A and B are shown apart, each in its own frame.
Chain A
Amino acid sequence: MLVLKTPKDALLKPLQAVAGVVERKHTLPILSNVLVEVVGGRATFVATDLELQISTSAEEQGATDASFTVSARKLLDICRSLPDAEPISLEIAGEQQIKIQSGRSRFNLQTLPARDFPKLQIPDGEGLSFSLPQGLVKRLLASVQYAMAVQDIRYYLNGMLLSVQGTRLTVASTDGHRLAVDATDLEQAAVEGVDVILPRKTVLELGKLLGDDDEPVEIQINQNQVVFRRPNFELRSKVVDGKFPDWQRVIPVGHDKVFVIARQRLLQSLMRAAILTNEKYRGARLALTAGSLRIACSNNEQEEAQEELDIDYDGEPLDIGFNVQYLQDAFNNLASDTVQCSFGDPTSSMLITIPGDANFRYVVMPMRI
Chain B
Amino acid sequence: MPHIQLLPDLLVSQIAAGEVVERPASALKELLENSLDANSRDIRLDLEEGGIKLIRLVDDGVGIAPDDLKLALTRHATSKIASLDDLERVASLGFRGEALASIASVARLTLTSRYAEAAHAWKVGALDGRLHTPEPAALARGTVVEVRDLFFNTPARRKFLKSPPTEYAHCDEALRRVALAHPECAFTLAHNGRVSRRLAVSDWQARALDILGEDFAAAARTLDEAAGPLRLYGLAGLPAYSRAGRDAQYLFVNGRFVRDKLLSHAVREAYRDVLHHERHPAYVLFLELPPEGVDVNVHPAKTEVRFRDGRGVHQFVLHVLERALGGCRESSAGASLPSWVRDGGEGAPITPAASPAPAYSSHPLGGGGSGGVPRPWTQQPLHANEPAPYYQMVADALAPPAEIRNPQSEIGAAPPLGYALAQLSGIYILAENAHGLIVVDMHAAHERILYERIKTAFDARAVASQPLLIPVVFAATGLEMAIAEEAGPALAEMGFEIAPVSPTHLALRAVPAMLKDADGERLARELLKDIHEFGLVGVHGGAMHARRNELLATLACHGAVRANRKLGVPEMNALLRDMEGTLRADQCNHGRPTWFQLTLSDLDKLFMRGQ
Contact = CB atoms under 8 A, between A and B. Distances in A.
A283 B464 CA distance: 8
Nearest to B497: A368
Contacts of A279: 555
A349 B469 contact: yes
B469 A347 contact: no
Interface in A332-369: 347, 349, 363-369
Contacts of A283: 464, 513
A245 B552 CA distance: 32
B516 interface: yes
Contacts of A178: 469
A300 B470 CA distance: 29
B521 A153 contact: yes
Contact of A280 (B468, B469, B551): B551
B469 A174 contact: yes
A176 B513 CA distance: 13
B516 A177 contact: yes
B519 interface: yes
B519 A323 contact: no
B81 interface: no
Given A153-B521, A279-B555, A369 B470 contact: no
B458 interface: yes
Given A279-B555, A300-B454, A363 B513 contact: no
Contacts of B161: none
Interface string B499-524: 00000000000100110100111000
B466 A250 contact: no
A154 B472 contact: yes
Nearest to A347: B467
A363 B467 CA distance: 13
A369 B464 contact: yes
A179 B470 CA distance: 9
A365 B454 contact: no
B465 interface: yes
Interface in A125-149: none
B393 interface: no
Contacts of B461: 300
Interface in B441-462: 454, 457-458, 461-462
B465 A367 contact: yes
A107 interface: no
Contacts of A323: 466, 513, 516
Contact of A281 (B457, B513, B519): B513
Contacts of A159: none
A176 B468 CA distance: 6
Contacts of B457: 300-301
A249 to B, nearest CB: 9
Interface string B459-500: 001101111111010000000000000000000000100000
B470 A250 contact: yes
Contacts of A366: 467
Interface in A277-311: 279-281, 283, 300-301
A157 B472 CA distance: 12
Contacts of A199: none
Contacts of A174: 469-470
B464 A281 contact: yes
Contacts of A153: 519, 521
B178 to A, nearest CB: 50
Given A154-B472, A280-B551, A300-B457, A367 B466 contact: yes
* From B468, B469, B514, residue with most partner A Cβ within 10 Å: B469
A281 B469 contact: no
Contacts of A367: 464-467, 513
Interface string A269-283: 000000000011101
Nearest to A247: B470
Given A153-B519, A280-B551, A177 B468 contact: yes
B549 to A, nearest CB: 12
A176 B470 contact: yes
B469 A365 contact: yes
Interface in A64-86: none
A368 B454 contact: no
A249 B94 CA distance: 66
Contact of B466 (A157, A177, A301): A177
Contacts of B514: 280-281
A122 B472 CA distance: 35
Contacts of B495: 368
A277 to B, nearest CB: 11
A250 B472 CA distance: 14
A134 B437 CA distance: 71
A349 B520 CA distance: 20
A153 B436 CA distance: 54
Contacts of A154: 472
Nearest to B521: A153
A150 B513 CA distance: 17
B464 A363 contact: no
Contacts of B521: 153
A244 to B, nearest CB: 10
B467 A368 contact: yes
A353 to B, nearest CB: 16
B466 A281 contact: yes
A323 B470 CA distance: 16
Contacts of A280: 513-514, 551-552, 555
A14 interface: no
Interface in B512-561: 513-514, 516, 519-521, 551-552, 555
Nearest to B558: A279
Nearest to B522: A153
Given A153-B521, A280-B555, A281-B516, A365 B468 contact: yes
Interface in B5-57: none
* From B516, B519, B555, residue with most partner A Cβ within 10 Å: B516
* From A176, A279, A301, residue with most partner B Cβ within 10 Å: A176
B465 A368 contact: yes
Contacts of B462: 369
Nearest to A150: B517
Nearest to B510: A368
A301 B464 CA distance: 16
Contacts of A281: 464, 466, 513-514, 516
Given A364-B469, A368-B467, A369-B462, 17 more contacts: A176-B469, A177-B468, A177-B469, A177-B516, A279-B555, A280-B552, A280-B555, A281-B464, A281-B466, A281-B513, A281-B516, A323-B513, A323-B516, A367-B464, A367-B465, A367-B467, A368-B466
24 contacts: A153-B521, A154-B472, A157-B470, A174-B469, A176-B469, A176-B520, A177-B469, A245-B470, A250-B470, A283-B513, A300-B454, A300-B457, A300-B458, A300-B461, A323-B466, A323-B516, A347-B467, A349-B469, A365-B467, A367-B513, A368-B465, A368-B495, A369-B462, A369-B464
Interface of B: 454, 457-458, 461-462, 464-470, 472, 495, 510, 513-514, 516, 519-521, 551-552, 555
Q: Which 3 A-B pairs have the closest CB atoms?
A: A281-B513, A300-B457, A368-B465
Interface of A: 153-154, 157, 174, 176-179, 245, 250, 279-281, 283, 300-301, 321, 323, 347, 349, 363-369
